[in-house]
Each structure stands twice: as C-alpha cells, then as structure tokens.
Amino acid sequence: MQNDAWSTIATTGSPSAPQTGLAAFMALGAMIVVQVGAALAQPTMAAYGPFATTWGRLAWAAIILGVIVRPDIRSYRSRDLLLTAALGATIATMTLIFFVAIMRVPLGLVVAIEFLGPLSVAAFGFARSWRLIWLAPALGGVLLLALSRQGWTIDVLGFCFALLAGLGWAAYIVLNKQVGRAFRGLDGLALSFIAAAVIATPFGLVETGFTLPAGLALETMGLAILTPLVPFILEMMALRRLSQASFGILMSLEPALGALAGYLILHDQLSLQQIIGIACVICAGTGAVASTREH
C-alpha cells in the first residue's frame, strides 16, 4: 500500500510514465536550486545576520506570491486560516533555525541531519512496523557525521539547531498536508508565507537595528526567487508526472546535493567518515520510500 506520510512530500496521483524523465529532471532541479540558494545566502547572513536574511527572504516570498495568487481570505473558515498561521509559524521557525545551523555546521551535514525529520514522519506512518528499521541506518549516519573516537567533530550547538530544524521540517510536512486539503490552488501557501514573514519581522528588525538596509532588500529578493518560489514551481510540475515513491527516492538525494553545494560554493570540507554518514542517510531515505511500493 502506498504511504500517506510520503504523500505529504510527494503526491497521491498515479505515475505518469511518458514524461518521467522530464519530471525527474525538474525535481532534481528544484532540490539543486534549494541547496544553491542556501549556500548563496551565506554572504548575506555574514553581512546582515541569519535572522535579517530570513526575514527579507520570507517577506519577498510573501509579497511576490501574494501578488500573483491574491488569496481571498473571506472565502475560508477561521479554523482554516489558523492552519495557515500555524504553517507560517513553522516555516519561519524552521527557516530561522536552519540558517543559524548552517552558520555553524557545513551545509551538507545540516541537510543530512535535518532529513531525519521527514524520514521519521514517513517511517512512523508506515502500515508495517518493520519498516521503522530504516531509521537505524539514518541515525547511524548522523552519528558518523557528528562523532568520532575523539568526541564531537562538529559544533554541538549547530548540531542541536540542525535537529530542531528537522523537527520543524516534520511539522511542516504534517501542516502542509492539512493546508493543502483546506485551500484551493496556492491560496494556503500564499497566506502561510504572509504569516511567516510577519512572525520573522521582529527578529529581522532587532538584528538590523530597526532599519532596512538597501543591500539586504536587494540580496534577499534574489534569494526569495531562488527559494522557495522557483523550487515550488518545479516541484509542482514534477509531482504531476511522478509517483510519490519515485519523487521520494529523488528527495533522498538532497543531503548529497547539500554537501556538493557546500563544497563547490562555500568550500566546505568533509571527512571520509562524514561522507559515509551522508551516504547512510541517503540509503535510509531511499530504502524507506522504496519499501512503500506495492508488491
């Protein structure tokens, strides 16, 4: 039986074989843009701070998507609007924590640690409890990323932030599914980004000293286009053509893409042990999704 947990990441639709190659290319493109966007945000964060950068990116995303979608809040119930507020709070918190984490820990390692969130949602949603076994190699991989015989190999606080970002990603998956059911088209996402931008505003203003530097406004506009706007469009197009299992397997490559973006753009150096740890997380994600296929 196909699994509902992964359908929150992918789609419940049937596979579309004729355009699978194009869809896979778009899905990979979306993940690449996400990781490149995270890597390119580093100079902006160094100049203005992670909170200010997150605030600017979310504000631009809310403005751009709000203008395009123009959601009519009068057509929705109060409890549905509360769902978008909850999703917006999750997006803001998860993004803030993620950016703080990548200031302390290499990007590829943060993405691999964070991936425990959606993997756990999927594993605990499996109809057969034996599939929880896929959490074991993922946890083992994370231990390889962070520990050696000499002790911690990465910043402990950064590791904790990455774990918290993973919890946020898991909450995002659950809330995103509920918002997707309650709203038409992109209305729910647009309202959620507005809520996220509002929530991130105080943090951004405090970090900038209650000013709005022109450089921050310009740089975060570009970052907002890189992520989440372009990846969302690519993912939506891919999900119309791919099965949830196929998309989930592709998504499992994200830690590797994060490591590659960190190496090429930020010149992050990883040890052989850490590379093996990332490989373990990727294998766990791939195995977890592949095991949801019908036999």
| 144, two tokens | 């390889």
Provide the 8-state DSSP code for 152.
Answer: E
| Range picked from 6-15, 43-52, 225-234 for highest mean pLDDT | 43-52
Residue in the structure block whose two tokens are 């992109």: 186
User: CA–CA separation, 212 vs 220, rounded Å?
Assistant: 12
CA triplet 181, 185, 186: central angle to 5 degrees?
100
CA triplet 261, 43, 172: central angle to 5 degrees?
60
Report which residue type is found at 41: A
| 78, two tokens | 């109060």
**DSSP3 helix / strand / coil % (the chain, rounded to 5):** 80, 0, 20
Mean pLDDT in residue range 86-105 = 94
Report which residue type is found at 279: A
| Range picked from 77-81, 135-139, 240-244, 250-254 for highest mean pLDDT | 77-81
Mean pLDDT in residue range 29-41 = 91
Give strand pairing partners of 151: 148
Q: Are 254 and 29 in contact (CB under 8 A)?
A: no
pTM for this prediction? 0.84
CA triplet 225, 229, 230: central angle to 5 degrees?
80
Provide the 8-state DSSP code for 151.
Answer: E
Q: How confident is the model at residue 240 (pLDDT cuts 50, 70, 90)?
A: low
233 vs 189 pLDDT, higher one: 189
Q: What are the residue boundaries of the structural domains of the chain, listed by start?
A: 4-8+18-290
Contacts of 222 (CB under 8 A, 6+ apart): none
Mean pLDDT in residue range 222-226 = 90
The 10s digit of each residue's pLDDT in 166-215 is 999 888 878 887 888 888 888 998 999 999 999 999 999 999 999 989 99
Measured from the Cβ of residue 253, the count of other Cβ atoms closer than 10 Å reads 17
Measured from the Cβ of residue 47, the count of other Cβ atoms closer than 10 Å reads 13
| 124, two tokens | 């605990």
